[in-house]
Amino acid sequence: GQQLNQSPQSMFIQEGEDVSMNCTSSSIFNTWLWYKQDPGEGPVLLIALYKAGELTSNGRLTAQFGITRKDSFLNISASIPSDVGIYFCAGTNTGNQFYFGTGTSLTVIP
């Protein structure tokens, strides 16, 4: 299957710092999605991107759909303790089959 690689694998940051993570694929996608998973729970959709080059925000989160359609980026500004969790990217072309990244684990130190 298609492999989506996320980096970094884990991050330890101070509260208030900005965070950047990215996701790359060997194949192109026409939709990119970013999810957050809190400990012991299922993933929750944060942002959906539908067009190459698109930049979309959701509060302190901003995500971009890469021009090549093979990558996507997620930024979190002014991190807070509740940002702790695992962030996953996902790509789809059909809306039926979804390919998830390996995840970025975020720890925010108060």
The three state secondary structure string of 50-106 is: CCCCCEEEECCEEEEECCCCCEEEEEECCCCHHHCEEEEEEEECCCCCCEEECCEEE
Q: What are phi and psi of 66, to 5 degrees?
A: -65, 150
Q: Report the residue from 25, 31, 64, 79 that binds other proteins according to the rule CB under 8 A.
A: 31
**85 is a contact residue toward other proteins (CB under 8 A):** no
**12 is a contact residue toward other proteins (CB under 8 A):** no
- Residues in contact with other proteins, counted by CB under 8 A, come to a total of 27
Binding letters toward other proteins, positions 32-71, x by CB under 8 A? -x------xxxxxx--x-x---------------------
CA-to-CA distance for 82 and 17, rounded, in angstroms? 13
Site of interaction with other proteins (CB under 8 A): 1-2, 4, 6, 31, 33, 40-45, 48, 50, 88, 90, 92, 94-103
